[in-house]
Structure 1
Amino acid sequence: MQDEKTDKKLALVTGASRGIGKGIAESLIARGYKVVGTATSESGCDSLRKDLQVLGSEHDAFVLNIADSEQVNAAIADFLSKHGTPYVVVNNAGITRDNLFMRMKDDEWLDVINTNLSGVYRVCKSLIKPLIKARAGRIINISSIIGTTGNAGQVNYSAAKAGLEGLTRSLAQEIASRNITVNAIAPGFIATDMTDGLPENQKEAILATIPMKRMGATHEIAGSVAFLASDDAAYITGQTIHVNGGMNMG
């Protein structure tokens, strides 16, 4: 829960090497957490560790492929032995394999479901016993507006994110009595290196669907994560918070 050397609460952030995940990691560090992030490659992990340790030598990173059950079990066991039980778990890692449904290959469907949905299951399953033993914690799953609205060419991604929100609600019910909250955040279109590379006409089409007429910033997702991790959110569980500039108002 807390790092013995620094007395800081411990946070684990998957998929923290860039974009929203890196913004979340940096935001939690700024709020006084010890953060351990993950990346899918050794080079990504080394780069992430270097960036995080600029903000404090206590922060760390390790390689995690949430699509691989054996690797998850081994990596999380090593993480627990080195750092202890996290207070905050942010499930951000994910992939896309976009294609129109009639052209979608089995591996495009299975890869996305295996990573974006089953991967979160694996991380939560590997941490659930120590969290319950600690009788405290915050699990925060990063979903997407696409899980609610759907999107042409993203049947696999939409299904995985909708499933993730169902997982969030059900797990929240199971462990609420242990003082562990489980919530999801569903970002809309967020300005990252991925969206920066979109053609201008595509960006304009996206902005036309957003009442606020701008993409979100990573710090706006990170701020929502920090709120759900805080004591102020202790009575919020099983919820999906939409952060999308008004694209979806439910």
Structure 2
Amino acid sequence: MRLLELTLPDAVENVALDEALLRQVEETDGQPVLRLWELESYAVIVGRANRIERNVNVEACRRDGVPIVRRFSGGGTVLLGPGALVFSLFLRVEKDRHLANIDAATAIVLDRVLTPLKGLVASLERKGTSDLASEGVKVSGNSQRWLRSTFLHHGTLLYDFDVSLIERYLSDPEREPDYRQGREHADFVRNLPISRDELRKSLTEAWDARLDPPELPFDLVRDLVRDRYRNDEWTFRM
């Protein structure tokens, strides 16, 4: 698997790059890619079908200059920023027939991520639809986007994130997993007790990813940023 370690200057460009890479792998029958990235400043990333007024404290975001970006994948609304490592996997379905549907693919991907991490945090396990948790507390959220023969699985791994900011910018979610049991953000989310370097090593080993970045589709990124991700009709459509 190819490894790409690249964070673009702002949240909008990074979300656009994930979509552009997914399209590129789909259209060129390209090799699978593991991308690692981490924002230097905070941003709210809204799931494709999430309602902003129900999930986001828009006033606080505007007051503090925190951008709101609607991504093209499913899942819930998250706050990203320093201390939240994002891993984006671009996988070809036909190369592994076990990746036949969303539930199966989620289980396979998360179990593969878990294997090396459990050597560092023995209590880690899959919880809910697509979370990783330790002792019943969430440390990773994940979502997917599928095309005909390729899918994107991206997730966060918290290691040095200011969890107290979540309740400032996010409302209580409109949907929550059973294991949350109504807990506030600060009681439900925590950092992994491991370093960024340990996370990177675990992820690259889990996927046998080697530094061989693909040609980057910057023209498509530019078009997606202009036509979709900086367009309020897309961002605030729900």
TM-score (norm 2): 0.25
Decide which structure has greater strand share.
Answer: 2
Greater relative contact order (Cα 8 A, min sep 6): structure 1 or 2? 2
Decide which structure has greater helix share.
Answer: 1
TM-score (norm 1): 0.24
